[in-house]
Structure 1
Amino acid sequence: MPDASRTHLVLIPSYNTGERLFSTVEAARAQWNPVWVVVDGSTDGTGERLQQMAAGDPGLRVWLLPHNQGKGAAVLHGLRAAREAGFTHALTMDSDGQHPADLIPAFMNASQARPETMVLGRPVFDASAPLLRVRGRRVSNGWTQLETLFAGVGDSLYGFRVYPVADLIAVMARQPWMRRFDFDTEAVVRLAWRGVKPVNIDAPVKYLTAEEGGVSHFRYGRDNVLLTWMHARLMVEFVLRLPRLLWRKARRLPPFQA
């Protein structure tokens, strides 16, 4: 097992992921210490079983939220606990086995080398990726490039990332959004507005079948409406901020705060 880091932790939000959660956590623990899991009101019994697992592993901590609040809310819960414990950075990864646990050390090393940045996974898809979702994220990425004034965000939706804890808490505390599926995209936009530069690293993503234990809570209609509403809000705010941003950029001043 790796030695415990005092600054960087792995943070996994989970909601009704079933058995796949345990293999995800085991894979993460094999690569990093500590690993924290926020169980977001799951009703499948995984939270209680994971607590039993954590009882014998000092590198694993588990929080059980009383009801489902959304991915962003679960991440925020973990971030606040991380800040209280003195951690400065958190690598978020999904609990459904899509993200490459073996790349955790590389992402953490990149963050430790440049702690002022956010280290973003840039997905490399294989044949398991649904074509509709691949095309849909191109649209979201295009809007994100515009909203960040082409700051270099490689992908707006891939949730395998290392965030600076204090910066992300600050941008989430200022508004009521980013609590559900809109979290990943809005987080990179608002952090870019805050002046947190992206570092992009290629990482594979695998869409598991039901036979492989894959679980997805993505709903095309509901979640695409949420993303559309999110980009509409961000574009309005971006247009209002644009004159000031260009003025500061021309004078090479720090960007405006998100």
Structure 2
Amino acid sequence: MNQFCIVIPNYNHTAALDEVLTQLAAYQLPIIMVDDASNDDAKAVFATLASRHSLLTLVTHQHNQGKGGAVQTGLCHAHQLGFSHAIQVDADGQHNLADVAQLLALSNANPQALISCCPIYDDSVPKHRYLARYLTHVWVWIETLSFDIVDSMCGFRVYPLAASVKLINEVKLGKRMDFDPEILVRLYWRNVPFIFLPSPVIYPANGLSHFQPLHDNVRISWLHTRLFFGMLLRSPLLLWHKIKRRYGR
């Protein structure tokens, strides 16, 4: 049986955090929240919540590393503690946490796979964010020579820690918004299987977003440039793996 924990990257997200932790408490899983050098007000909230939620452990960055850096710290910390799988959950209340039960069941049935939610959006999604996500999905399909990665940006996932931490230790992954698609592509290149679960996503009114349109779009564009040329080098192996998956050999 898999040994699960929950990893939450957090930079100044406090508005929905108590509700997120309360919902997650129903699963009785240890929670590792990585404080990515948040401000003093947020740190005070985190400390209060840690005293109220016995399953919550805080890991603190002295300097801001970005969401991807916080997730990587959380995954490595979870692996060091002996967990086999970590569920990444965002702190802003966007995710339907009732789906954690299905994520756990899918991961127990497929322990080698990365299990990710595939967002079902309502009218709250900003149109420019939706279009930008779709463009990234197209690039990911090119970089993997497949449509197996249905969604490459959702931060509601179950990571198999052995494969994920091995990748983190061997490759310098992006530490900001470029992390989410990069780790999926590189795990796919290593023949890690993927399973996607449709799940509703809500963008809260007046929600806090750390997406920086200029800098993050430049990072993501540079990421896809690197991954595209990496795909060209790996294309024979990717095609061979694709044939084996299709015909079960």
Fold shared by both chains (TM-score > 0.5): yes
Aligned match for 1:178, one of 174, 181, 193: 174
Question: So what's the TM-score if we normalise by structure 1?
Answer: 0.88
Counterpart of 2:103 in structure 1 is: 107
Distance 1:136 1:223, change over 3 A: same
Where in structure 2 are there 5+ consecutive unaligned residues? none
Question: Any idea what the Cα deviations from partners look like across 1:196-237, whole Å, max 9, x if unmatched?
Answer: 111010011111111xxx111112222111111111110011
- Runs of 4+ with >6 A deviation: none
1 CA distance for matches of 2:240 and 2:105? Answer: 35
Aligned match for 1:50, one of 29, 46, 50: 46
2 CA distance for matches of 1:101 and 1:248? Answer: 33
2 CA distance for matches of 1:33 and 1:245? Answer: 36
Counterpart of 2:151 in structure 1 is: 155
Counterpart of 2:29 in structure 1 is: 33
Q: What's the C-alpha RMSD, in Å, of the aligned pairs?
A: 1.9
Q: Does the residue aligned with 1:110 lie in a helix, a strand or coil? A: helix
Identity of aligned residues (%): 36
Distance 1:32 1:215, change over 3 A: farther
2 CA distance for matches of 1:122 and 1:94? Answer: 14
Counterpart of 1:70 in structure 2 is: 66
Counterpart of 1:231 in structure 2 is: 224
2 CA distance for matches of 1:52 and 1:34? Answer: 17
Question: So what's the TM-score if we normalise by structure 2?
Answer: 0.91
2:21·2:53 contact (CA, 8 Å) conserved in 1? no
Q: Does the residue aligned with 1:45 lie in a helix, a strand or coil? A: helix
2:191·2:241 contact (CA, 8 Å) conserved in 1? no
Instruction: Out of 71-80 and 189-198, give the one that drifted further.
Output: 71-80
Residue 119 of structure 1 pairs with residue 112 of structure 2: no
Counterpart of 2:5 in structure 1 is: 9
Matched length: 245
Question: Any idea what the Cα deviations from partners look like across 1:63-98, whole Å, max 9, x if unmatched?
Answer: 121121111111111112111211011110111111
Where in structure 1 are there 5+ consecutive unaligned residues? 254-258
1:32 to partner: Cα distance: 4.1
